[in-house]
Amino acid sequence: MKHKFNNLEKNTKEIVTNSIFHLINKDPEKNVNKLFGIMKKAIKNDDTKNIITKIEKYYNENPSTREYVEDILKNTDKNCLKKIYSNFWSNGVWYGKSRRKKVGEENDTKIPFALLISPSMRCNLRCTGCYAANYSKKDDIPNKDIDRLIREAKDMGIYYIVVLGGETFINKYMLDIYKKYNDMYFMPFTNGTLFDEKLADKLVDLGNVMPMFSIEGWEKETDKRRGSGVFNSVIKAMELLKERGMPFGASTAVSNTNLDVVTSDEFIEMLIKKGARMLWYFIFMPVGDNPIETMDYMLSPKERIYLGRKNRKIRSTKKIFTIDFFNDAPYVGGCISGKYYCHINSKQDVEPCIFSHFATTNVKDKPLIEAFKSPYFRLLRSRQPYNKNLLMPCPMIDNPQEIRNIVKETGAYATHSSAELMVTDENFMNKLDKLAEEFKPAAEQAFAEDFDNTGNYRMSKG
């Protein structure tokens, strides 16, 4: 019976996908509500249907959202547009959800929605505060292992892969991976310095890749952290992709030195003009080679709350979709690491988060699902949310005692030297405790004023 149900769902997905493609090929920006209607009629899963319904509501009620959606449908390369729908929405959000649930139930675990993977930690830049320094080619994941891990992820229903590093385009074999798994969606975060017309043409031809360019503000801010000429390289890469109708986004590490710049109307309008569809804000985290020293760059409590409010304003008034990794936590139930996503580093240690450099499982010679079934990941999921105030989601900087207890209870090992300091160095631990204590009053006030002391607690339990 289950086999018949899976075939029926797959056949339904294919029929809906063909209908969507038909509209995409015929002035899709004029048929937006038809697109929503087809998707809602076909999708039976309530959670997925609710997502579509909310997007439809924003589209019909918010002028900037309407312009944003129509601009994407009108100016995106048709092959890329089809891959966004078929690979991310249809496979990842819709079909993949039931597959992940089935595999999870069979193995008494939780299969994440997204897999983050760092094929290489090598980079041609040396950015301030970055964890991806001091790595060599010997630390890269071999091509055959990348292939196996992506295949295993897909078999479990994971169709969305975020590629990190290091510089994600430093390993050319990743282009072959993107081509081989052409029914999956890949989002590589890149410094943009390796882009040229040949690479841009290749990505458009693939269609299932959406680069995210790291940018710290204008030329002054970007080059100060990343090196001379990097800002201009990013802008050139953006222009190459916009010319081809290739979707891309931007990401920025927000510190107390660039907060005002990266949230300014001028900067946002520049990104929109260059063609960026997304902007991902990550607050500066103490995870680099000198974490204690770089804590001086972290946002103050007032600045952190300001970023969240500014992010929500931008998202509702500009033609760009912004995400604040920390301040948007109430919408997803707090910390989602180890539950809705995890990270495989270049040594194949499976970490719950790109910022949390601890692991108990290495998948070099074992199935990926073993990490999800591990006591470490089970304990992480059971303790989430770490705080009822979902504006304090992180077990490292908001609830630092949590990471210490979890590491001690599970025997997790540090995958980076700075992580070891986080649970052993008295000076560092005291600074983290003070950081959390100072943020608490601001977080409590903002959670009450902005979220009425509530959030997506249902999602926090998976």
What domains are defined for the chain? 2-104 (no CATH), 110-462 (3.20.20.70)
C-beta of residue 114 within 8 angstroms of C-beta of residue 354: no
Q: What is the pTM of this model?
A: 0.94
pLDDT computed for residue 367 by the predictor: 97
The pLDDT profile of the chain, 462 residues, written as one tens digit per residue, is 444 445 556 667 777 888 888 888 888 888 888 888 888 877 777 777 788 888 888 899 999 999 999 999 999 999 999 999 999 999 999 889 999 999 999 999 999 999 999 999 887 776 665 555 556 667 789 999 999 999 999 999 999 999 998 899 998 899 999 999 999 999 999 999 999 999 999 999 999 999 999 999 999 999 888 888 999 999 999 999 999 999 999 999 999 999 999 999 999 999 999 999 999 999 999 987 889 998 999 999 999 999 999 999 999 999 999 999 999 999 999 999 999 999 999 999 999 999 999 999 999 999 999 999 999 999 999 999 999 999 999 999 999 999 999 999 999 999 988 899 999 999 999 999 999 999 999 999 999 999 999 999 999 987
d(CA 223, CA 238): 17
- The pLDDT value given to residue 21: 85
Q: Which residues have C-beta within 8 Å of that of residue 55, sequence separation ≥ 6?
A: 36
According to DSSP, the β-strands at 350-351 and 185-190 are unpaired
d(CA 94, CA 87): 10
Q: Give CA–CA dist 126/225, Å, rounded.
A: 8
H-helix or E-strand spanning residue 67: helix 63-75
Cβ atoms of residues 280 and 252 within 8 Å = yes
Among positive and negative, which fits the CA dihedral 383, 361, 394, 338?
negative
The residues, ordered by sequence, that sit 6+ positions from 403 with a Cβ below 8 Å of its Cβ are 356, 358, 395, 396, 422, 423
- Gap between the Cα atoms of 211 and 234, Å rounded: 11
Q: What are the phi and psi torsion angles at 281 (to 5°)?
A: -95, 130
Cis peptide, bond prior to residue 229, ω within 30 of zero: no
Asked if 91 and 64 count as a contact pair (C-beta separation under 8 A), the reply is no
User: Residue 461 CB: number of other CB atoms within 10 A?
Assistant: 12
Whole-angstrom distance, CA of residue 3 vs CA of residue 285: 46
Q: In sequence order, which ranges of 181-218 are alpha helices (DSSP H)?
A: 197-206
Element (H, E) at 358: strand 358-359
Beta bridge pairs of residue 181:
none
Q: Rounded to the nearest 5°, which phi and psi values hold at 253?
A: -90, 115
The pLDDT, as a whole number, for residue 4 is 46
Q: Reduce the DSSP state of residue 72 to 3 states and report it.
A: helix
pLDDT value of residue 230: 92
Q: Residue 183 has what DSSP assignment?
A: T
- Determine the residue type at 3: H
Nearest to 199 by CA among 168, 227, 223: 168
